[in-house]
């Protein structure tokens, strides 16, 4: 039983999904005149989690052969033979249908469509079309991981106002730098699997420049949200300045020393940065309400 749970935990990647959920929550509080009900909050997050999990299952089913060539992924349940592709695909479709139904019933059709569009983008645009073919895969394909704010706003107001799209843009600009840092310290794995990731195709120095470029753009979107969302105040701006200086500093450090240890540090800090920005949004909104 323990092995069974461990295998499916690897399949659905709950730690990655938690970041999508974290970016959906602010929209649910900012998009409504009053706090969302506990039921709506829970079911929206649960449906989003199921849809995100299904996308990871489809991704691993499609990438079985490439995963088998990478040290990091060779022991995943599908390439290791512990879960069959047929089983994975069936579970993926069941989770997709359940997620769509939950989001449609407890929220609305727009919410369900936003979540389902993210799955389609991740499976078809990123996994099938872009990832095996271009080193810009994560720039375009990263749109799949940006829908959390859209889901949050849609669930409470059945609309997608400007602040929702600014948050969408924020995650869109955050994703390349975050993912390319991962690609630096996993460069050999991606090379072995013939994935044209930026460090493999252009080298780590060029990757460091691209990370700095997208980090600056990401920081710009963090400040843009302050002007787009009226409920943001001094707390959000002051803390954002400190956090943004920190992440730009780390990106410059990585550019000067594009080594795996610095890439790993930037990778994990970028996750913390995005989490803290979303927490700041919630706290500042609560203070001003």
Rounded to whole angstroms, the Cα distance separating 111 from 107 reads 7
Checking if the pLDDT of 160 tops 90, the result is yes
CATH 3.30.230.70 fits 1-158, yes or no: no
Q: What is the pTM of this model?
A: 0.90
Report pLDDT for 218: 97
Give the residue extent of every domain in the chain: 1-158, 161-289
Report pLDDT for 200: 82
Cβ-defined contacts of 261-267 (< 8 Å, 24+): 261/185, 263/181, 263/182, 263/184, 263/185, 263/204, 264/181, 264/185, 266/177, 266/181, 266/211, 267/178, 267/181, 267/182, 267/185
Least confident range from 158-167, 228-237, 245-254: namely: 228-237
**Which tokens is 4 given?**
């069974």
Least confident range from 86-95, 150-159, 164-173, 187-196: namely: 187-196
Residue 264: pLDDT band with limits 50, 70, 90 = very high
pLDDT tens per residue, range 17-26: 888 899 999 9
Checking if the pLDDT of 103 tops 90, the result is yes
Report pLDDT for 141: 67
Report pLDDT for 168: 94
Report yes or no: 231 and 169 within 8 Å, Cβ to Cβ.
Answer: no
């Amino acid at each position: 039983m323990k092995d069974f749970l461990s295998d499916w935990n690897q399949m659905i990647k709950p730690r990655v999904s938690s970041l999508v959920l974290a970016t959906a929550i602010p929209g649910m509080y900012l998009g409504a005149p009053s706090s969302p009900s506990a039921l709506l909050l829970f079911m929206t997050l649960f449906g989003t989690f199921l849809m995100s999990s299904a996308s990871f299952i489809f991704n691993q089913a499609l990438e079985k052969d490439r995963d088998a060539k990478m040290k990091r992924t060779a022991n995943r349940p599908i390439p290791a033979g512990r879960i069959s592709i047929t089983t994975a695909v069936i579970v993926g479709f069941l989770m997709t249908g359940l997620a769509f139904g939950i989001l449609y019933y407890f929220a609305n059709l727009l919410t369900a469509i936003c979540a389902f569009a993210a799955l389609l983008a991740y499976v078809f645009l990123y996994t099938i079309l872009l990832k095996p073919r271009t080193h810009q895969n994560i720039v375009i394909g990263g749109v799949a991981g940006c829908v959390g704010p859209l889901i949050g706003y849609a669930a409470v107001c059945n609309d997608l106002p400007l602040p929702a799209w600014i948050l969408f843009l924020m995650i869109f600009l955050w994703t390349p730098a975050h993912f390319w840092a991962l690609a630096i310290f996993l460069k050999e794995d991606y090379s072995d699997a013939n994935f044209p990731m930026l460090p493999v195709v252009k080298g780590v120095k060029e990757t460091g420049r691209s990370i700095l470029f997208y980090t600056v753009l990401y920081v710009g979107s963090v400040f843009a949200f302050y002007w787009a969302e009226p409920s943001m105040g001094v707390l959000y701006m002051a803390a954002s300045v400190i956090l943004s200086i920190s992440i730009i500093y780390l990106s410059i450090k990585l550019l000067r020393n594009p080594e795996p240890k610095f890439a790993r540090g930037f990778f994990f800090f970028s996750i913390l940065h995005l989490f803290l920005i979303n927490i700041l949004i919630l706290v500042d909104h609560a203070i001003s309400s």
